[in-house]
A and B are shown apart, each in its own frame.
Chain A
Amino acid sequence: MGFRVDLIEGSRIALRSLAAHRLRTLLTTMGVGIGVATLLAILGITQGLDTSFQSQLASLGSNSIYVAKQPWVQMGNWWEFRGRKNLTLEHYEAVKSQCTLCSAVVPMLDDAADVEFLDRALSFVNVTGSTADYLAVSGFEITRGRFVTAADDDNRRKVAVIGADLADSFFPNGADPLGSTIRIAGKPFTVIGVLSRKGKLLDQSQDLVVLMPFNTFKSFFRGRRSIEIGVQIENAEELSRAEDQLVGILRRARQTPPDRPDDFAINKPDQLASTYEQLTGALYGVALGIGFITLLVGGIGIMNIMLVSVRERTREIGIRRALGARKRTIITQFVLEATLVSAVGGAMGTLVGLGGAKLVSLVTPLAATVRPGTVVFGIGFAALVGLVFGIWPAARAANLDPVEALRDE
């Protein structure tokens, strides 16, 4: 008799046995189901995190580079960054005149300040001072009015371009903000434009911003500050070449000795991505570990119930053996049964897990997405757990002495 017959007959018997013990099957499958649900919910949420983070990163502008004194993500000696020379307008001029791969270069200064309009106030608004090309570098667009111009900058005009969050809370219901006077850190500014909405990055709004001319910023926020140099690269494929070029220009301009490392930082959105991956990777690992342990517990549950099932059906095994079933046939039958129980649990767990991920995406800002492959993985993995944990009980069934088995009450 071939293996095919073993499989067909085994599946039939397994289905019957499951149908005969519905409650027991349900309870047994729950263990595996919970394991799969946990795994899938975790996978769904992390996949959702990944996709939303990717799209958030895209909002930073994928071919922009920000040169600063300190890196965005600091892993190491804070004092080392602290002790660096400031970036100055001199360095900006050097980049502006020498960078051949840059399509736009802007100086940037920023601070957090309170912004008020009439009786309304917003705290911790990011106030940035920059020049006309800032739009190209940052990826913002103008939805109303105009952006700052070179003339605004030269004359240190007290004009401001407000972010979407400010427009919403100060000028609700489509009220026209242009020409209104807002107070930034207590000083009056005239609104000349509104920025497009970017959304959130790592749960922080990018639209709680105010833009003003670079020189205006300098005259209002005093103190020796290190500027940031925002650069847009014409061609995204030349990003790393442009980076090399920037490093060269800045080392020369800052007279960094050849034996010293760079005393400035080249910040790119994809750096954030790799940091993010490092951080979430660990979290991911722990969560997956929990999922696997749950599945292990579920698998032991299956093994237990299969041992009970073998014990209960000893006589049936004896009858089958007497009538010509080989050991292999009995093993196949019970392994299939365990696999099936587990796969059913996996399917239920998949539904619950997807539901859980969906729920998370409804009540939290995380967008849970589930790829079809994940579902297949969930059910397949559960089946594998059943297979592995079913082997031992099945082998016990097959190794029963037929004579003894037939005598079983």
Chain B
Amino acid sequence: MLIELTDIHREYTVGGEVVRALDGVSIGIEKGEWVAIIGQSGSGKSTLMNVIGCLDTPTSGSYLLNGKDVARMDDDELAGIRNQEIGFIFQNFQLLPRETSLANVELPLVYRGVPAKERQQRAIEALRKVKLEQRMHHKPTELSGGQRQRVAIARALAGEPSLLLADEPTGNLDSATGEEIVKLFEELHRAGHTIVLVTHEPKLAARCPRAIRLSDGKVIGDGVGAEIAWLGLTKAG
């Protein structure tokens, strides 16, 4: 088991009121799976993504990532886990605007302390996987939205993490470009990568072999993507 979440709670206090963003979530994800986490805004899916991505720690519950108990780690250790185990893909790409594609893709390797030469080779290799090696000296502002997201995917791949964690990866793209990105995810899945994809779009979740639906901080459905994607919704929604 790559991800093992057991009875995860995450509470915030907002204006003196306790908000239960996650209210007893238990999920297991195997290596090589492609799982969508779907829910409407306020369902707790963003909080769950932050917990899985080690950007946030749960109030209670246990989280084993690759056998390591990350729920009790300190800030430095979490930074190390994010660097080694997780490849983030964000809705708005989150690339450094003043750096070239190559430098952006190298960044996780920089923080891992990989020597410059090897770092560059691995970054070029990752850019090749997303078919962007021709654009490695371009800055994000010189790239289209789809290309930017591919750079972000290359960056996620460069560190060879055990988990790709994507947050609405097609949210800022038109449908044709979004489709390209989904195809890329399908390829990556076939190549053996573990992918967790957070979205509010049933259509996207339906493309995933497995989907988990969240509502009010609880798991209300877990199963084949095409079935779970529309759970509790009318087809037209």
Binding site for B on A (CB under 8 A): 1-2, 5, 9, 16, 20, 315-316, 318-329, 402-403, 406
Contacts and interface: CB of A to CB of B under 8 A. Distances in A.
Contact of B111 (A20, A316, A324, A327): A324
B58 interface: no
A9 B50 CA distance: 26
Contact of A324 (B50, B56, B90, B112): B112
Nearest 10 Cβ contacts at the A-B interface: A324-B83, A324-B111, A1-B113, A326-B79, A323-B108, A319-B94, A402-B55, A5-B113, A403-B55, A326-B76
Contacts of A327: 75-76, 79
Interface-centre pick from B53, B82, B95, B111 (highest chain A CB count, 10 A): B111
Interface of B: 50, 53, 55-56, 75-76, 79-80, 82-84, 88, 90, 94-96, 98, 107-108, 110-113, 155
A323 B56 contact: no
Given A316-B96, A402-B55, A403-B55, A322 B113 contact: no
Contacts of B83: 323-324
Contact of B110 (A9, A315, A328): A9
A403 B49 CA distance: 10
Given A20-B98, A319-B94, A324 B82 contact: yes
A320 B107 contact: yes
A328 B98 CA distance: 23
Interface-centre pick from A2, A16, A316, A322 (highest chain B CB count, 10 A): A322
23 contacts: A1-B113, A2-B113, A5-B110, A5-B113, A319-B95, A320-B107, A320-B111, A321-B79, A321-B82, A322-B88, A323-B111, A324-B80, A324-B82, A324-B83, A324-B84, A324-B111, A326-B75, A327-B75, A327-B79, A328-B76, A402-B55, A403-B55, A406-B90
Nearest to A398: B75
A315 B107 CA distance: 15
Contacts of A403: 50, 55-56
B82 A323 contact: yes
A326 B83 CA distance: 10
Nearest to B75: A327
Nearest to A326: B79
